[in-house]
Structure 1
Amino acid sequence: MSIDLVIVESPAKVKTISKFLGTDYVVEASVGHVLDLPKRNPKGVKKPVPGIDLENEFEPTYEPIMGKKKTLDKLKKAAKQSEHVWLATDLDREGEAIAWLLTEAMGLEPSKIKRVVFNAITKDAIQQAFQQPRDIDMAKVNAQQARRILDRIVGYQVSPLLWKKVAGGLSAGRVQSVAVLLVVLREREIRAHIPDESWSVTIRLAIDPSNAPQLITSWPEFMAQVDEKGKHPTKKRQNAWLAENGGLRTALYEIDGKPFKLECKSDAPRDLSNEIQQAAEAAGLTDVSVISTEDPDGKGPAQFKRELTGELQPGVEYSIDSIETKPSTTNPQGPLITSSMQMAASNRYSFTTNRTMRIAQGLYEGVSVPGEGRVGVITYMRTDSTHIAGEALTSVRNFIGKQYGDEYLPEKPKFYGSRNQNAQEAHECIRPTDVSRTPESLAKSLDDDQLKLYRLIWNRFVGCQMNGAVWKNTSVILKRSDKDTGAKVRTNGRVLQFDGHYRAVG
């Protein structure tokens, strides 16, 4: 009986894929690349960039990676004993290049090679992939080679300059070198920028006038508090405190029938002290003064730092002038791709990008699930595409209808475009391989970090196919009623009327 060889990149995939394919296949791992550009020139050769012929259309030269000889010999031996060699490396450009370099290193006959790709390590995905083998995609291979060659050229040409100008041991990369340039250019713009000047007036009111003295006393105490990072209350915490203590944040909106807008442009600076003083008095302050302090680093209107001080006029009151309500909808975000997954994990869990990708790799390659054995629970995690496969769309829509109800299910599936015009649309977004595997059902199969990231992926995927949340927005205009100064203030708020995708996302 003939045996076929299957080569994957990671040893962690071997056991899982072997289980799905059966005894007719032997699965081995290349453990990443087996060939790479040489780190230094051979004796007697003087090239500015080892492994790259700059005079011959940047032709690369590859050599076996140190320590990979044993792996390569094992793969060659297994290939000789096999009828076909299935190259099941990852489906991105890097995986395609690894597949091509394996054929070069092993000297494989083209008729013996079968290239297969899958974006999930599940039984259905693996078996479907092996029913649809294809040739190696040389366009992807060449794209990876171009990137690798640029990495080498930039690194070997620019790094020595860093050693001379900054410090030894530093390296320059293809991306980071340009990124540093962009940062420097932007910093120069910032330093050359002359800011405009604008003023806003915030007025905190007590809903019950008898409660005003208590608010006036306790507000400075609240604002003096600091959290564990030494930061004072955010605007969100301030608003929550005011709501809990019978207060309200408003902003000066209008004076004498004209919208309050006090500003001057950098190319036409002027002293706004008198105007802001008049606005503050109209709003309810007395004994107002503006203290100006020269800032030697300031430019234009920012040459002076201005601070307004004053005392609250006794008996200041505001009454409701108008109330306006209107609905609004907050639509769900699209499914996760690599960059948005890294950003979300960083914002929510303070994960580094390396930590996030390491966890995602484990979820993709497989975890032990009771009753299923070892199975991949998310799709491939290196992707810039928001595409969702048809069967996955059907599955998640069925799940939403049954789990949450028809009111959460849009009439049609939602589709999301990619900002990256070069996104590899054959790829999918990062999603659960089976939406019925809820985070709660996998809680005993995943460690803490895995569960956090899986929950993030699952929530985002389910949420992206749900109806948006509906809010009731209210805008209240209040006018000063104890004295006719023409001052009006506005406060805005909203109340959630239908939770929509928040039901899944939280």
Structure 2
Amino acid sequence: MNLVIVESPKKAELISGFLKKHQLNDYKVMASAGHVRDLKQHSFSVNVEDHFRPEYVITEDKKSLVRELKAAAKKADLVYLASDEDREGEAIAWHLSEALELKPEKTRRIVFHEITAEAFLHALEHPREVNMNLVDAQQARRVLDRIVGFELSPVLWKRIRPSLSAGRVQSVAVRLIVDREREITAFVPQSSYRLQATFVLPSGERLLTELNHRFATEAEAEALMTRCATADFSIGAITRRAARRSPAAPFTTSTLQQEAAHKLGYSVSQTMRLAQSLYESGHITYMRTDSVNLSSQALGAIARQIEKHPGKEYHQPRRFQTKSKGAQEAHEAIRPTYIDRERVGGTPQEQRLYDLIRKRTLASQMADAEIERTTVSIPVAGTDYAFTAQGEVITFRGFLDVYMESTGEEGNAEVTKLLPAVKEREALSLEALT
């Protein structure tokens, strides 16, 4: 019998189902429910003199679970540590091997970034050792948390209110916010004045325009208004320019949080809770990632889905590069495990988040949107100024057929702002000037 230890009971249940389906009955799956060891709660627990060595204990609420896991591990031929593939997951695997006193020769570390039968079975065939560099990175973060917390928290209790705690990230973030707020307070505002004019075309249609210059004083703006009141106007230059819009990269953790806030009104914690549930149910890949990579297998499935609908001409394969320094490129971006699945079980909130992830993933592999941008110029006689109007017409929707980034819900409008039909030197009458 082999023992597989995962982080969550939900994941354990799903993997047990895969093993049963593939008739792998010599595997038992158990869950650690997160960390089993941590620093002592009411003491510093970091030996600063001995290279900042952390002093760990098995947490009170995990003692009985550790006893169960230890008993199961003793009976097992092999123990597979299958916690998540990030720093925290690697640390959990190491803590389990220490707490359960596992022998290296009978311990295997496996990782998978999506909970599907294929990914899990592939992981079983390609085990590795615990990555101590990742474990050390997590330990450094935990030790820093404790050092900052123990130093700063008493100051907060004294100055603000009891039971507040300072974090290694939040404390620095507060400083940045305070610095920015001081800049805002010190800023000296300056006024500027803009002119907007409404012209009527011979056809009776209206053309809304704005002057291509902003005035520093109200007197200057009023002087030009007086001049315009008696002036004659006609269409000057009309320029048309083809433009393209490219889709955004698939989601990383931070871009998913931003877009879910803009489009769905979800808080960061709500987004991560829903994404965790979608991941543990096997619907999306691992939701903590800073990579925009997609696997070759995923790219093939996405291409087939786009060619099926909306059509072959909408498909444009792309490989995105991660801009952030030190990004973990071995991971994938957040994407659906099965791109052809439009609906998943779960709550309506989970479905909305899944829908957002699926559309963003599809759009990332679709053709550019093609746009025609038109600029109409109406000169003010005897000056260097001109009133201008700009409009866009989408000539080929491309990826916009599926997803529009952070501009509210996707619509079917073909036009961002459509200008009326105009001809050069066409006479205009001034209806309003503001």
The TM-score with structure 2 as length reference comes to 0.88
Matched, 1:106 2:104: no
- Segments of 5+ residues of structure 2 without an aligned counterpart are 404-409, 411-434
C-alpha contact (below 8 Å) 1:282/1:485 kept by paired residues: no
Q: Residue 13 of structure 1 aligns to which amino acid in structure 2? A: K
1:262 match: secondary structure: coil
Instruction: Specify the alignment match of 2:245 in structure 1.
Output: 330
Rounded Cα–Cα distance in structure 2 between residues aligned with 1:261 and 1:352? 39
Instruction: Specify the alignment match of 1:462 in structure 2.
Output: 362
Matched, 1:275 2:220: yes
Task: Name the larger-Rg structure.
Answer: 1
Q: Which has the higher contact order (CA 8 A, sep 6+)?
A: 2
What is the Cα deviation at residue 280 of structure 1? 2.3
What fraction of aligned residue pairs are identical, expressed as a percent?
Answer: 41
Instruction: Specify the alignment match of 1:403 in structure 2.
Output: 309
Q: Residue 437 of structure 1 aligns to which amino acid in structure 2? A: R
Q: Residue 38 of structure 2 aligns to which amino acid in structure 1? A: D
Matched, 1:380 2:286: yes
C-alpha contact (below 8 Å) 1:282/1:486 kept by paired residues: no
C-alpha contact (below 8 Å) 2:193/2:218 kept by paired residues: no
1:436-451 to structure 2, matched below 5 A, reads 436-439=340-343, 442=344, 445-451=345-351
Matched, 1:414 2:318: yes
The TM-score with structure 1 as length reference comes to 0.76
C-alpha contact (below 8 Å) 2:39/2:54 kept by paired residues: yes
C-alpha contact (below 8 Å) 1:252/1:283 kept by paired residues: no
C-alpha contact (below 8 Å) 1:364/1:381 kept by paired residues: yes
Encode CA deviations 1:23-56: one digit per residue, 9 max, x unaligned: 1100000000000000123xxxxxxxx1111222
What is the Cα deviation at residue 262 of structure 1? 3.4
What is the Cα deviation at residue 206 of structure 1? 4.1
Rounded Cα–Cα distance in structure 1 between residues aligned with 2:35 and 2:388? 63
Pairs aligned (count)? 400
What is the Cα deviation at residue 336 of structure 1? 0.3
1:173-322 to structure 2, matched below 5 A, reads 173-207=167-201, 247-253=206-212, 260-263=213-216, 272-284=217-229, 318-322=233-237
Encode CA deviations 1:76-130: one digit per residue, 9 max, x unaligned: 0100110000000001000000000001101110111100000000011111111
Instruction: Specify the alignment match of 1:121 in structure 2.
Output: 115
Instruction: Specify the alignment match of 1:6 in structure 2.
Output: 4
Instruction: Specify the alignment match of 1:158 in structure 2.
Output: 152
1:78 match: secondary structure: helix
1:194 match: secondary structure: coil
- Segments of 5+ residues of structure 1 without an aligned counterpart are 42-49, 211-245, 254-259, 264-271, 285-312, 367-375
1:13 match: secondary structure: helix
Encode CA deviations 1:166-225: one digit per residue, 9 max, x unaligned: 122211111110001011111222222334553322223344697xxxxxxxxxxxxxxx
Q: Residue 273 of structure 2 aligns to which amino acid in structure 1? A: R
Instruction: Specify the alignment match of 2:52 in structure 1.
Output: 58
Encode CA deviations 1:203-262: one digit per residue, 9 max, x unaligned: 23344697xxxxxxxxxxxxxxxxxxxxxxxxxxxxxxxxxxx54321113xxxxxx353
What is the Cα deviation at residue 165 of structure 1? 1.4
C-alpha contact (below 8 Å) 1:283/1:487 kept by paired residues: no
Q: Residue 153 of structure 1 aligns to which amino acid in structure 2? A: I
Rounded Cα–Cα distance in structure 1 between residues aligned with 2:35 and 2:206? 63
Residue of structure 1 aligned with 2:18, choices 14, 17, 20: 20
Rounded Cα–Cα distance in structure 2 between residues aligned with 1:452 and 1:430? 15
2:340 match: secondary structure: coil
Encode CA deviations 1:262-306: one digit per residue, 9 max, x unaligned: 34xxxxxxxx3432222222333xxxxxxxxxxxxxxxxxxxxxx
Instruction: Specify the alignment match of 1:394 in structure 2.
Output: 300
Instruction: Specify the alignment match of 2:267 in structure 1.
Output: 352
Question: Which stretch shifts more, 201-210 or 57-66?
Answer: 201-210
What is the Cα deviation at residue 403 of structure 1? 1.8
Q: Residue 421 of structure 1 aligns to which amino acid in structure 2? A: K
Encode CA deviations 1:417-443: one digit per residue, 9 max, x unaligned: 22321211111100011111124xx4x
C-alpha contact (below 8 Å) 1:385/1:425 kept by paired residues: yes
Rounded Cα–Cα distance in structure 1 between residues aligned with 2:235 and 2:26? 80
